[in-house]
Amino acid sequence: MSFNVNLDTLYRQVIMDHYKNPRNKGVLNDSIVVDMNNPTCGDRIRLTMKIEDEKVTDAKFEGEGCSISMASASMMTQAIKGKDIETALKMSQIFSDMMLGKEYDDSIDLGDIEALQGVAKFPARIKCATLSWKALEKGASAEDNGKS
Ligand code: FES
């Protein structure tokens, strides 16, 4: 018998697991709040996060959207929690490069996020996958502006 693990199948299972069992679903009080929507479909996400001493101490999301957008938000919040904001933004850049099919910096372990790399082959879905990351970038810049 052959146990030829199909990476696409494995990745699909990781995506569906995050979609059906989202990590960090909900809303944080006393936090940065960012609302983003995907203009091509109208789906939306609300990201709430706390940044203390340049570190993302907590992050949650809620919203409505396709499996890719919701799974990506779940993976994103899981990935950035506990990271310093600089690293979180670097991950966002890496993810963006991955979605654009560019060479990307692999010095940071992306964990489950790697499961989304196949989305790069479907340009119409890239906005779904990057929605939560755009929210992160907007939230981080709001935090920056609040300081100055
Ligand atoms: Fe709307 Fe994916 S189809 S976010």
Report CA(147)–ligand 1 centroid distance (Å).
33
Q: What is the CATH T-level fold of the domain 2-144, as seen in this structure?
A: Sufe protein. Chain: A (3.90.1010)
Is the beta carbon of 43 within 6 A of some atom in ligand 1? Answer: yes
Ligand 1 atom closest to the CA of 38, numbered from 1: 4
pTM: 0.93
Convert the chain into a string of H (helix), E (strand) and C (coil).
Answer: CCCCCCHHHHHHHHHHHHHHCCCCECCCCCCEEEEEECCCCCCEEEEEEEEECCEEEEEEEEEECCHHHHHHHHHHHHHHCCCEHHHHHHHHHHHHHHHCCCCCCCCCCCHHHHHHHHHHHCHHHHHHHHHHHHHHHHHHHHHHHHHC
pLDDT, tens digit only, all 148 positions of the chain: 444 568 788 899 999 999 999 999 999 999 999 999 999 999 999 999 999 999 999 999 999 999 999 999 999 999 999 999 999 999 999 999 999 999 999 899 888 999 999 999 999 999 999 999 999 999 999 877 665 4
Q: Where are the domains of the chain?
A: 2-144
Instruction: Report the residue among 36, 44, 45, 128 best suited for mutation to probe ligand 1: largest number of ligand atoms under 8 A from its CB.
Output: 128
